[in-house]
Structure 1
Amino acid sequence: MTLTMAWVRRAGGAEEMVIASDSRLGSLGYWDAAPKIIPLPRGDAAIAFAGETDYAYPMMIQAINAINSYGESLSRRQPLAKLKGHLLRVINLMLDQQKDVPAALWEAPAALFLLAGYDWTDNRFKIWKLQFDKGTRRFTFHPAAPWRGVGNDEKVLSIIGDEIAEAKGAVLEYLQGPGGVRQGGFDMEPMKALAYMVDDDRFRSIGGYIQMVKIYKPMVCVPFVISRKGTQSLLGRPLLDYEKSDAPTLVLDY
């Protein structure tokens, strides 16, 4: 499966959206080069997944196709919240196209998504979790809720994938200071928790190269080259020796 996080980062008086994930797919073995975060072509959002790729990749590709085919969406005249509703309908329509699946063999789609970005209509970063509801047999969206009781402020973080309880515990550990939980919004504590879990062999379904994109209020989504442990990678793939990416580089020394 995977571990994917999206959070609102507050640093130096500014806010930005950060989406980060590992790069591991698992089947007969492990494949550590999977893109799990896809910037949407409109620039103000990205979609990320956890789970099985037989649902996740076709659905994300069709989401991109839906945006590219509609000028109001591509130009962002269609607000992010309305795009969320449209993508939900596109994905559920795709479910309706499944044919000839014996009832005894049918299984609920093992895929989850995060849609995260900046909504210009109310000047806010937003995160939604998209998951399958077995009762209705439809995908539904749920907005990310602030972490209540963690300090006296709102810290917005959404996590999908494996070992979520462990990941949340690691984030809380990184938030601890001499006087308790650090006040203010998240900085890079979720990234530190992700790096810890990628490195820990106990979490076999989480691994490979860390990938990250940031979304800024001018409605620009920027993938980052991650420099870590002597390797540079972009969106889950290590760069070849001769590759020179134009993407900015984030050096992770943890």
Structure 2
Amino acid sequence: MTLTMAWVRKVGGVEEMVIASDSRLRSLGAWDAAPKIIPLPRGDVAIAFAGETDYAYPMMIQVANSISFYHGALTRRQPLAKLKGHLIRVINLMLDQLKDVPVDLKEAPAAFFLLAGYDWTAGEFRIWKLHFDKGIGRFTFAPTRGWGGEGNGDKVLSIIGDEVGEAREVVLEYLRRQGQIRAGGLDMEPMMALAHMVDSERYPSIGGHIQVAKVYKSMQCVPFAVRRNGARSLLGRPLLDYEESQTIPTLDLDY
């Protein structure tokens, strides 16, 4: 499985969307080079997954294709909220094409997605969790809202994958240490929690290189190279020594 997070980072008067994940797949052992975040072609949004790759990878690729070849989606004439509906329809249409599944293997798809970006019509960052609803037998969505409580409406965080409850508790612990449990938005506390769980042997399904993308109010989705433990990676893959780029920013997580 995996651990994937998206949150609105607020530092001073600056806001940005951060999407982060580990890079581990377990089907062939611990394979620590899997891309789990895909910046979508229109530039203001990314999609990330957790769960069964048999479902997730084909669906994510076709979601990206559907934007590339649909002018309204590609040019952002279709607002983010309506794009979300389009992508749900694409995913469910794909689900309808699945045939000849052995009865003993026919279960509800254990695939979850985060759609995270900037909605220019509302002037705000939005996160939706896309998931399979057994009651209707289709994929549907749920919006992510603030945590609630005093001062916590500004804390917008969505987590999918393994150990979601534990991940939330680790985030809370980092907030407590900084005295930020009651007021204000999130900074990099979710990233610190993700790094902690990637490094811990308690979570064998979570590991490998941390991958990160950010969405800005300028409606740009930017993948980041990540420097951690002396190594550099991009979207889950270690970079070769000669892979230097002036166009890809680097996030240093060696803190």
After TM superposition, is the score higher than 0.5?
Answer: yes
TM (norm. structure 1) is 0.96
The answer as to whether partners of 2:174 and 2:193 remain within 8 angstroms in 1 is yes
The answer as to whether partners of 2:4 and 2:159 remain within 8 angstroms in 1 is yes
Q: Deviations over 1:59-118 (max 9, x none)?
A: 011111110111121110110110000000010011111112244431111110000000
For structure 1, which segment, 25-34 or 173-182, has the greater mean C-alpha deviation from structure 2 after superposition?
A: 173-182
The answer as to whether partners of 2:38 and 2:47 remain within 8 angstroms in 1 is yes
RMSD: 1.3
Could you tell me how far 1:253 is from its partner in structure 2?
Answer: 2.1
Q: Which residue of 2 aligns with 1:250?
A: 251
Within-5 A mapping of 1:78-117: 78-117=78-117
Within-5 A mapping of 1:11-50: 11-50=11-50
Separation of aligned partners in 2, 1:167 and 1:109: 23
SS, match of residue 31 in structure 2:
strand
Separation of aligned partners in 2, 1:147 and 1:82: 25
SS, match of residue 99 in structure 2:
coil
Q: Deviations over 1:205-231 (max 9, x none)?
A: 000000000000010000001001000
Q: Which residue of 1 aligns with 2:142?
A: 142
Whichever residue aligns with residue 148 of structure 1, its letter is: G
TM (norm. structure 2) is 0.96
For structure 1, which segment, 169-178 or 96-105, has the greater mean C-alpha deviation from structure 2 after superposition?
A: 96-105
SS, match of residue 170 in structure 2:
helix
The answer as to whether partners of 2:197 and 2:206 remain within 8 angstroms in 1 is yes
Q: Which residue of 2 aligns with 1:183?
A: 183
Could you tell me how far 1:154 is from its partner in structure 2?
Answer: 2.4
SS, match of residue 47 in structure 2:
strand
Alpha-carbon spacing, 1:179–1:54, altered in 2? closer, same or farther (3 Å): closer
Whichever residue aligns with residue 95 of structure 1, its letter is: L
Alpha-carbon spacing, 1:101–1:147, altered in 2? closer, same or farther (3 Å): same
Q: Does 2:201 align with 1:201?
A: yes
SS, match of residue 154 in structure 2:
coil
The structure with the largest strand share of the pair is: 1
Q: Deviations over 1:164-193 (max 9, x none)?
A: 111001100111147562521000000000
Separation of aligned partners in 2, 1:77 and 1:118: 13
Separation of aligned partners in 1, 2:16 and 2:150: 20
Q: Which residue of 2 aligns with 1:55?
A: 55
SS, match of residue 253 in structure 1:
coil
Separation of aligned partners in 2, 1:237 and 1:134: 34
Q: Which runs of 5+ in 1 are unaligned?
A: none
Alpha-carbon spacing, 1:168–1:103, altered in 2? closer, same or farther (3 Å): same
The answer as to whether partners of 2:21 and 2:210 remain within 8 angstroms in 1 is yes
SS, match of residue 158 in structure 1:
strand
Alpha-carbon spacing, 1:10–1:178, altered in 2? closer, same or farther (3 Å): closer
SS, match of residue 83 in structure 1:
helix
Alpha-carbon spacing, 1:153–1:97, altered in 2? closer, same or farther (3 Å): closer
The answer as to whether partners of 2:152 and 2:182 remain within 8 angstroms in 1 is no
Could you tell me how far 1:150 is from its partner in structure 2?
Answer: 6.2
SS, match of residue 122 in structure 2:
coil
The answer as to whether partners of 2:152 and 2:185 remain within 8 angstroms in 1 is no
Alpha-carbon spacing, 1:93–1:249, altered in 2? closer, same or farther (3 Å): same
Separation of aligned partners in 2, 1:178 and 1:208: 27
The answer as to whether partners of 1:20 and 1:191 remain within 8 angstroms in 2 is yes
SS, match of residue 49 in structure 2:
strand
